[in-house]
């Protein structure tokens, strides 16, 4: 399949006369799938109401059929057709964080394709905060089911080039709207329970949620191996570059020893570190890639997937990553790093 590519800069969401977006929207109306930027990562969109279109998402990504999709909307009014009874908690969260990187799990009205929900009686919905995503949905007039636009198991795409790398020839089109900002996927919150539960940590932090609705729980399966996560997608290994990733917990000397030990074993060592650690380490390892600064962890979120992908164009045999406190956006960063590492941790203690 020929993948059409468009570039759209500085879209004014109130103006709908962008020829690129008209073409992309026409393909979506013809049951095709098109990748587009959101503020979190690039999404792979399809008409959420069409079985045929939604199936194409699963095919292109190689995504397991039991992993449901998030439906993206542009107006709250669209919810009337999509979900039953909106709890007050959901209203408050929408008010505070939409458009933005927050997905709400609500009672489904079963109006979307059965492939979207993967047989669940709930539906995940979000209003993205990106002019291109919003304009594309406005022009097409469709709610879009859209997972991240990567091959299943690969790091999510934060640029159109990442999407191209994974899906060129497999999808109808890619709208390039520049690099995404947040860099990690949305926070998924189950609003069907008395107390809302974070099913996936993401761009909106637990602390921010609690400031709006009081107590918020975290799905215990996110920190324990013994339980099945309530969000089906969380059980899959994700975000992994080709070389194995190990999280290194401990002081600078311990990191240096760990690097030298691996090099002694004949391994080429890749290092995923912050600017601060790079400065403290000096010359170390074989390939050192920096992901941002410890003084503002949102920079780490923005760069993480790009850096994980970048290791694939090096010849390292093993990757050591530094770790972060699991508070604020650090919770989402550590959740993705844990998955990239498949829980492999080398600890000083
Ligand atoms: P992605 O679109 O690749 O960011 O993945 C979407 C995430 O949302 C996956 O982890 C899904 O399992 C999760 N998800 C989607 N719909 C639901 C739902 N109805 N209930 C729980 N989790 C969901
Ligand atoms: Mg994904």
209-243: per-residue pLDDT in tens? 999 999 999 999 988 877 888 888 887 767 778 89
CA of 187 to the centre of ligand 1 (A): 10
Would you say the CB of residue 150 lies under 6 angstroms from ligand 1? no
CA of 299 to the centre of ligand 1 (A): 24
The pLDDT-based confidence of 11 (bands split at 50, 70, 90) is confident
The pLDDT-based confidence of 80 (bands split at 50, 70, 90) is very high
Instruction: Mark out the alpha helices in 183-296 (DSSP H runs).
Output: 206-213, 252-264, 275-281
What does the mean pLDDT of the chain come to?
95
CATH 3.40.50.11030: which residues of the chain? 245-347
Q: Is-contact 83 123, C-beta < 8 A?
A: yes
Largest CA-CA distance found in the chain, in angstroms, rounded: 62
pLDDT at site 306: 97
Would you say the CB of residue 248 lies under 6 angstroms from ligand 1? no
Please give the CATH number for the structural domain made up of 245-347.
Answer: 3.40.50.11030
The mean pLDDT of 173-198, rounded to a whole number, is 97
Nearest-10 crossing angle of helices 131-140, 19-29: 60
Q: How many CB atoms lie within 10 A of CB 97?
A: 23
Would you say the CB of residue 293 lies under 6 angstroms from ligand 1? no
Which ligand 1 atom is nearest residue 69's CA? 15
CATH pick for 4-223 out of 3.90.870.10, 3.40.50.300, 3.40.920.10, 3.40.190.10: 3.90.870.10
- What are the φ and ψ backbone dihedral angles of 93, each rounded to 5 degrees? -65, -40
The pLDDT-based confidence of 268 (bands split at 50, 70, 90) is very high
Between CA 235 and CA 222 the distance in angstroms is: 9
Would you say the CB of residue 234 lies under 6 angstroms from ligand 1? yes
Percent of the chain as helix, strand, coil, to the nearest 5: 35, 20, 45
Choosing from 186, 188, 197, 228 the residue with most ligand 1 atoms within 8 A of its CB, the one to mutate for a pocket test is: 188
Q: Which ligand does the CA of 238 lie closest to? A: 2
Would you say the CB of residue 123 lies under 6 angstroms from ligand 1? yes
CATH 3.90.870.10: which residues of the chain? 4-223
Choosing from 70, 144, 218, 235 the residue with most ligand 1 atoms within 8 A of its CB, the one to mutate for a pocket test is: 70
Residue nearest to atom 21 of ligand 1 (CA): 231
pLDDT at site 281: 96
pLDDT at site 13: 66
Percent of the chain whose predicted confidence (pLDDT) is above 90? 89
């Amino acid at each position: 399949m020929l993948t059409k590519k468009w570039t759209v800069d500085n879209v004014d969401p109130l103006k709908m006369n962008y020829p690129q977006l008209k073409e992309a929207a026409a393909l979506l109306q013809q049951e095709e799938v098109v990748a587009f930027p959101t503020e979190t990562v690039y999404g792979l969109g399809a008409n959420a109401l069409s079985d045929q279109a939604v199936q194409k998402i699963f095919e292109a990504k190689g995504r397991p059929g039991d992993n449901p999709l998030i439906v993206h909307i542009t107006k709250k009014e669209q919810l009337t057709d999509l979900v039953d009874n909106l709890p007050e908690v959901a209203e408050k969260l929408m008010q505070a964080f939409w458009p933005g990187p927050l997905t709400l799990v609500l009672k489904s009205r079963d109006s979307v394709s059965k492939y979207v929900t993967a047989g669940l009686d709930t539906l995940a919905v979000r209003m993205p905060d990106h002019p291109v995503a919003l304009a594309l949905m406005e022009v097409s007039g469709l709610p879009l089911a859209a997972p991240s636009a990567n091959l299943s198991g690969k790091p999510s795409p934060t640029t159109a080039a990442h999407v191209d790398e994974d899906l060129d020839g497999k999808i109808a089109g890619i709208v390039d709207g520049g690099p995404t900002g947040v860099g990690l996927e949305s926070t998924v919150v189950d609003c069907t329970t008395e107390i809302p539960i974070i099913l996936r940590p993401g761009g909106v932090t637990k602390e921010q949620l609690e400031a709006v609705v009081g107590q918020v729980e975290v799905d215990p399966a996110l920190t324990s191996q013994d339980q099945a996560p309530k969000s089906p997608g969380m059980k899959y290994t994700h975000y992994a570059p080709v070389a194995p990733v190990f999280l290194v917990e401990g002081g600078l000397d311990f990191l240096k020893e760990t690097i030298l030990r691996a090099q002694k074993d004949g391994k080429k060592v890749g290092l995923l570190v912050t600017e601060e650690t790079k400065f403290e380490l000096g010359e170390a390892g074989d390939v050192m890639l920096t992901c941002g600064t410890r003084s503002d962890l949102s920079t780490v979120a923005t760069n993480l997937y790009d850096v994980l992908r970048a290791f694939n164009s090096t010849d390292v045999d093993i990757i050591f990553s530094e770790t972060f406190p699991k508070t604020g956006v650090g919770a989402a960063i550590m959740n993705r790093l844990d998955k990239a590492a498949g829980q492999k941790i080398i600890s000083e203690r």
